[in-house]
């Protein structure tokens, strides 16, 4: 993975972790559609052939959204992850997240349950490999659901 893609992926992990913590700590909190669009676009961009400048702009936007969510929801900022150090299971989960995002982006669709799964999946990349394996176990069902959206 080239550096610019790795930076975007790492920022998406931080955003997913920040959003997921807010969802976990605030009863009834469901993010609006904007974060979902940013996450889906960012994940799909990992598989696109974008210029370094385009990737850098997306990374900057994602990092800004991390700060916004933290500020508005009172949760700590989750750090940008170093995806180049990911285990094979984490790399596989990141690829599956990107695949599902590409499906959603192609349909110009979002779905609250799938969005929440994407946030959880990104947050799982912050933890140990077991969290990633648990999310991978759900990936086929989520991918099938995304096909129906």
Q: What is the pLDDT of residue 1?
A: 83
pLDDT score of 42 more than 90: yes
Sign of the four-CA dihedral 48, 50, 56, 57: negative
Q: Report d(CA 115, CA 112) in Å as an integer.
A: 5
* Secondary structure letter of residue 79 according to DSSP: P
Distance of CA 7 to the CA centre of its chain: 13
Its pTM surpasses 0.85:
yes
User: pLDDT band for position 4 (50/70/90)?
Assistant: very high
Give the gyration radius of the chain's Cα atoms: 14
**Angle CA(108)–CA(110)–CA(113) in degrees, nearest 5?**
160
Q: What is the pLDDT of residue 90?
A: 97
Q: Report d(CA 13, CA 67) in Å as an integer.
A: 13
Sign of the four-CA dihedral 54, 112, 17, 120: negative
Range of the domain at 98: 3-148
The CA-atom distances, in angstroms, between 64 and each of 14, 33, 48, 77, 138 are 11, 16, 22, 11, 29
**Mean pLDDT confidence for 2-20:** 97
pLDDT score of 88 more than 90: yes
**Helix, strand, coil in percent for the chain, rounding step 5:** 75, 0, 25
Number of domains in the chain: 1
pLDDT, averaged across the chain: 95
**Mean pLDDT confidence for 116-123:** 97
User: pLDDT band for position 148 (50/70/90)?
Assistant: confident
Contact 110, 37 (CB under 8 A): yes
């Amino acid at each position: 993975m080239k550096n610019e893609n790795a930076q975007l992926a790492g920022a998406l992990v931080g955003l997913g972790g920040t959003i997921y913590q807010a969802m976990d700590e605030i009863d009834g909190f469901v993010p609006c559609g904007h974060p979902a669009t940013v996450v889906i676009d960012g994940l799909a961009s990992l598989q696109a052939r974008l210029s370094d400048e385009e990737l850098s702009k997306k990374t900057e936007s994602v990092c800004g959204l991390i700060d916004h969510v933290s500020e508005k929801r009172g949760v700590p900022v989750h750090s940008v992850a170093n995806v180049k150090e990911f285990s094979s299971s984490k790399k596989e989960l990141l690829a599956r997240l990107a695949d599902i995002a590409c499906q959603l982006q192609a349909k110009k669709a979002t779905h609250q349950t799938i969005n929440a799964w994407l946030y959880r999946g990104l947050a799982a990349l912050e933890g140990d490999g077991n969290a990633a394996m648990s999310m991978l176990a759900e990936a086929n069902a989520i991918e099938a659901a995304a096909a129906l959206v």
